[in-house]
Every structure is written in C-alpha cells, then in structure tokens.
Chain A
Amino acid sequence: MKPAAKRKGSSLFVRRNKDAIMACVILLVILVLFASNQNDFFSRYGPQSIFNQVITLAVAALAQTVVVLTGGIDLSVGSMIGLTNSIAATIMDPVSSAVGNETVGILLTNLIVLAIGGLAGLINGAIIVYGRLQPIVVTLATASIYGGIALYIRPTPGGKVPMSYTEFLTGRVFTYIPVSAVVLAVIIGLVWMPLRRSRLGQSIYAIGGNEYSAFVSGIPVERTKLWAYTLSGLFAAVAALLLTAQTASGDPLGSSLFTLNSIAAVVLGGTPLAGGKGGYAGAVAGAAILSLVLGLLIFWGVPSFYQNAVQGVILILALTVGLLQKLWRRAPLTTSS
C-alpha cells in the first residue's frame, strides 16, 4: 500500500477524490463569477472575506464527513455547534478575568470548549455503539438534548467575546494570508491527513465500505465508531469557536441550520451517505459552494428569499450530473433503490 501510494501519489489523490471533481468544477465557476463581480477580489481583502464566509460550514462539513464515512449520519452537528458556541461566548470573559490574562483565558476557554465538543460526540457514539441504535434517531434525540442544554446556558443570544479574539481569527497574518485559511490548512494538514493515513482512519473507511467485512477482518468496529463520533464533536466545537469569533456572541438555536447544510455540503462534495468513500476535499468544496453562492446572489441583487431555492437546485443538479457521469462511464445501473 505505502510504496504504491508513493510511486503514483498524484493518481491516488485523484482516484480518492474523483467524486469531488464535480464540486470542484462548480466551485471554480463560482469563484470566477466572484472574481468578475467583486472589485477587491485580488486585493488582500478578497481571500479574507471568502475564507471567513466559508470556514465555519467547511469545518462543520468535516465534522459530518467523519461520521458519514463510517456509514452513519450526525443530525446533532448543529446542536453541538450551538451548545459549544453558547458555552464559549458565556465563559470566555469570566475565565479570562479569573486567569488574569486575556490570551491565557482565551486559550483555556478554547480547550474547555473542545473538550465539551469531544464529550458530546463521544456520548453520541457511546449511545449508538453500546445501545446498538440507528445513528439517525440517536443524534436526532441528542440534538434536542444538546439544544436544550445550550438554551439553558444561554436563554437569549449574547455573551461577551474579547475584541482581540474576533480580530485574530477573522484577520490576516503576514498581510495577505487570512487566519481562517491557516486554521483550515492546519485542520486538514495536521489533523485530517495524518488521521487518514493512520490505522484509525483506514478503519473508518473500512467500516463505511462494509461493516461486517471490517468486523470479521478484525477491525475494532465499536472503538472506531466511538472515535468517529468523538472527532465529529471535536470538529463541531472548532466550527463553534470560529463562529464565536465571527459573531462575537453565543446563539443557542441559531446554529441549527448547520446540521442540514453540513449534510448538503458533504453530499455536494461527492461523498455518498452510504459511507466508505470521499474525504475532506469534497466537504470543503461543497461547503464553499453553498456559502459562496449566497454572496454571489447578493452581488447580483437577487432577493434573499431565492437563496434557498438556488441552493436546492444546485444540490439536485450536481447529483444528477454525477449520476449521468456514472451512467456514461459504465453500464446502466441495474440495482434499483
């Protein structure tokens, strides 16, 4: 496996991400349209605004991807983001003043929030694995529970977030590079790619491919699933921390859209809900399409209530084109749904 991967690394990358090609083409079109409409696209503000629009949904889509790869689905992504977002906005200021140093306080808050996100994900995984229940209904139930806890912590949107935190995470480093791009690069380069090459990563894909085969091949199905859901919770917490920086407040219910949008982004990126195939490239591309198309409509002065329809149509068209591609490549599908 390893040497083969080294010998033709590029083709492996292409093979692994061929389902994401459709999404990348659409994204390219959207970016070209963006460039022709936004005057400061090629200035230092262009990439910054684009990455800030995309980053939260992209990370939320990664949270969804980990679980979808195992063949599951996480309907609590939005609630976990809402919960961790509410907690972050609520405790950041008190923690900072308790520690006496704003930077240390922010870091500590981030760690606490990440731990809570991971725990929420782990609870999802534990109920699904040890309860032997379907992911879709379990996460539907925990979504309600996490949403309730978020509402308990922050009955109304608000909270206090230090200016420096917002300025840092939505700003730029080295004049040109948006911090959100750095964050995304770190998540993909330092978390996702090592994970993909690790035993855990291979197990996640194997389970999604065929759970029973994975089981009889000696892959620890239960532990892998626990990790997948925990990672999903962690990524959701990262998305929440970025959201906290962008909105400078905590909103217990406002994040519920992330659940369905993250699923849409994952599928738009070519990752099938059946699991076992796909990865970060599709998820990020899908999230970028869904976020940027809104910006494009605003440029063109399209009334905001057409946005939902445009997103829905893009989703259906992308999947239809993907199907036609498959039909063209090989014999017609004989299996019927």
Chain B
Amino acid sequence: MKTEMIEPSSAPSGFGAVHAIRKSAILKTYLTMISLYIVSGILQPHFFSTDHVIQLLVLASFLGVLAIGQTLVILTGGLDLSLAYVLNLGAVIMTQVTVQHGGGVALVAMLAVGLLVGLLNGLGVAYLNISPIIMTLAMSSILKSVTYVYSNGNPKGNAPGWLRYMGTESFLGIRIALWFWVVLAAAVILLLAKTTFGRKIYAIGTNARVSYLSGIQNKRMIVMVYMLSALFAVLAGMMSVGFYGLSYLGMGDTYLLPTIAAVVIGGTSIIGGRGGYVGTIAGTVIIYVLLSILTVLNINDAGRQIIYGLVILIVLFLYGRGKKVRG
C-alpha cells in the first residue's frame, strides 16, 4: 500500500488501469495536473510553449523547495506553520550578511540560522510535548520580530554574484533554479523511499507509539525532521533572493498556506504516515497552473480566493476521504 503511494510504477499490475487510478492518489494528482494544464493551454494556446512551461516551473520551484520540509513534517503527523517566516529570515540574512562579509559567509550564516530555528521547533515539539501547530506558530511570531529587528524594518543588500547567476541564468537550456529544485526533489524522493531515515518518518506518522516500541528514536527523528524543514525553508529563501536580487519583509507570507495546500493536494494525508514528495511536486505545479488559468480568465482577487478554496475541496473529495466509522 505504502510503496504504491510513493512509486506508482511499482503498483501491482493486473488490476486494470481504472482500478489503479482509483487506488493511487499519486495517479489522480498527476491526472489532475495534466488536465488542468490542458485546460490552461486551450484557454491560452501560448501556454503549450516550452518557454511558458519553464517559466511556470521556475515560479513553482520556490514553493516546491519550501514544500519539501512541509511534506516531511506532515508525514510525521506534524505541521510547520513557521516556514514562511524562516524563508523570510533566511533571505534577509543572505542579503545583509553579503554586504558586510561576502556571499560565502552569508550562505553559512543562513544555513546555521535555519538549522537553529528547526532545532528549536523540534525540541519544543519532541521534548516539551508542545503541539506542532502551536510550537511553530509561536516560532512564527518570534521570527517575525527577529527579522524586523535584525533588518531594522528595511532589509538592505543584494544577492551575491553567484546567487544572482543561479537565479537568472540557464544550464542546458533550463534555468539553474529549476535544476536546483530537480536535484533537491530527487534527493528527497530517494530519502523517503530508499533510506531507513525515510522509512522511520513514515513509521512515526503512521503510529508513533508502535514506532517507539520498535526501537525508533522518535524524539531524535522529529527534531531532525524539523531541522530539515527549516533548512529547506532557508534554501527557498535563498532561491527567492537569487530570483529577485534582493530581500524584503513579508517575502514568505504568500507561501504559508500554499505549502500545506501543495502537500494535501499532492495526496499526502494531513494526519501523517501516507503520501510523499512525488505527490507534492504535482500539488505545487497544480497550484501554479491554476493561478495561470485564473490570470488568463482575468478573475479578480476575490474570485481567485474562492476558486482556490473550491479546488482544494474538490481535490480532497477526490482522494482525501476517510473511512466511514462503524460500530
């Protein structure tokens, strides 16, 4: 069942295509993604061009990298509401430290701060037994202030040269930012499917007590997952800095709820234990294809929010339903 979720190709054959689709959330997600893309192409034929696809994927790559951490955390049965503010702090550190000490120091500082924030989140969740929503919510509040105080309300500095290059140049016809996402995505998919670390994440999300009794160091694992989550968030912040060339306050605000939406649309169960990053990729792309459709249809902000919510609901009805309770 679980491997089927992660690798649709390895689903037992002989059940027939319809059955496979009905059983696999991943297939449904990708079918939704492709159908939405075809709809967008019908509405605006220019969308079928390679240029557009690459542009769309580059925009999606920031959310894609950010959602890696959210996927890992949700798989353990947690939730990380601090990602948007970790992203923002990471971005501000990147530009401000670059001014004084150069890009290399900035990179190290940014990664260190990311790991520290993740460590604190993880310690709070695992050792203080604070519920993940609350711990990361409190961390968001704190980071908001920290970012404001550190930048004095007005972040200074620019992206270092190599980062600007990464954000704007291409390699083999594909933007480097996109390569970055591809590499990270491949690493995470392998991590989840092929390593004991990945299997432990699923075990904790499925049943924390059983995994604990099976000898898994739950607490240590959870701390590491939150550290990874914050790490990917600062990396997403770094990518944004590369793309825009600078940092500003509120950089991550628009990403907070979409990270959860991308994971859930991607078929990962919000209570943990089921799903994976393969689905989240499709979930991320679906969000951006949807945004492009809404832009083409010239729908105002109010309509966009309504449709955005409706699409999440529809997708949930497609594959997010629980079993009926029987006595």
* A residues 284-311 touching B (CB-CB < 8 Å): 305-311
Interface string of B134-149 (1 = CB under 8 A from A): 1101111110111011
Whether B304 is near chain A, meaning CB under 8 Å from some CB there, is yes
Whether A141 lies near B129 (C-beta < 8 A) is no
With beta carbons under 8 angstroms apart, the residue of B133, B212, B323 that contacts A132 is B323
Whether A163 is near chain B, meaning CB under 8 Å from some CB there, is no
Nearest A residue to B218 by beta-carbon distance? A336
Whether A149 lies near B124 (C-beta < 8 A) is no
Whether A195 is near chain B, meaning CB under 8 Å from some CB there, is no
- Give bound CA distance, A323 to B124, whole Å: 11
Complex contacts, B324 vs chain A, CB 8 Å: 132
Segment at the interface with A among B36-44, B236-244, B310-318: B310-318
Q: A133-B316, A323-B129, A337-B208 are in contact. Are A316 and B145 (CB under 8 A)?
A: no
Whether B55 is near chain A, meaning CB under 8 Å from some CB there, is no
* B residues 128-174 touching A (CB-CB < 8 Å): 128-131, 133-135, 137-142, 144-146, 148-149, 153
- Give bound CA distance, A131 to B318, whole Å: 10
Q: A336-B208, A336-B218 are in contact. Are A145 and B135 (CB under 8 A)?
A: no
Nearest B residue to A303 by beta-carbon distance? B149
With beta carbons under 8 angstroms apart, the residue of A155, A215, A267, A312 that contacts B139 is A312
Complex contacts, A273 vs chain B, CB 8 Å: 131, 133-134
Segment at the interface with A among B46-54, B106-114, B180-188, B257-265: B257-265
Complex contacts, A216 vs chain B, CB 8 Å: 327
Whether A272 is near chain B, meaning CB under 8 Å from some CB there, is yes
Whether B125 is near chain A, meaning CB under 8 Å from some CB there, is yes
- Give bound CA distance, A140 to B309, whole Å: 8
Whether A335 is near chain B, meaning CB under 8 Å from some CB there, is yes
Whether B17 is near chain A, meaning CB under 8 Å from some CB there, is no
Interface string of B217-240 (1 = CB under 8 A from A): 011001000000000000000000
Complex contacts, B219 vs chain A, CB 8 Å: 336-337
Whether A137 lies near B312 (C-beta < 8 A) is yes
Q: How large is the interface on A (under 10, 10 to 19, 20 to 34, 35 or more residues)?
A: 35 or more
Complex contacts, A267 vs chain B, CB 8 Å: 131, 134
- Give bound CA distance, A73 to B132, whole Å: 13
Q: A131-B316, A134-B320, A140-B257 are in contact. Are A151 and B301 (CB under 8 A)?
A: yes
Whether B142 lies near A137 (C-beta < 8 A) is no
Complex contacts, B325 vs chain A, CB 8 Å: 211-212, 215, 221
- A153–chain B nearest beta-carbon distance, Å: 8
Whether A148 lies near B128 (C-beta < 8 A) is no
- Give bound CA distance, A137 to B313, whole Å: 8
Nearest B residue to A216 by beta-carbon distance? B327
Which has the most chain B C-beta neighbours within 10 Å: A144, A150, A216, A305?
A144
Whether B131 lies near A141 (C-beta < 8 A) is no
With beta carbons under 8 angstroms apart, the residue of B141, B212, B270 that contacts A136 is B270
Enumerate chain A interface residues (CB-CB to B < 8 A).
Answer: 73, 127, 131-134, 136-138, 140-145, 147-152, 155, 211-212, 215-216, 221, 260, 263-264, 267, 272-274, 305-313, 315-316, 319-320, 323, 333, 335-337
CB-based closest 6 A-B pairs: A148-B305, A312-B141, A144-B309, A309-B145, A148-B306, A145-B309
Enumerate chain B interface residues (CB-CB to A < 8 A).
Answer: 79, 81, 124-126, 128-131, 133-135, 137-142, 144-146, 148-149, 153, 208-209, 212, 218-219, 222, 257, 260-261, 264, 269-271, 300-310, 312-313, 316-317, 320-325, 327
9 contacts between A and B (CB under 8 A): A138-B313, A151-B301, A152-B302, A312-B138, A313-B138, A319-B130, A335-B209, A336-B219, A337-B208
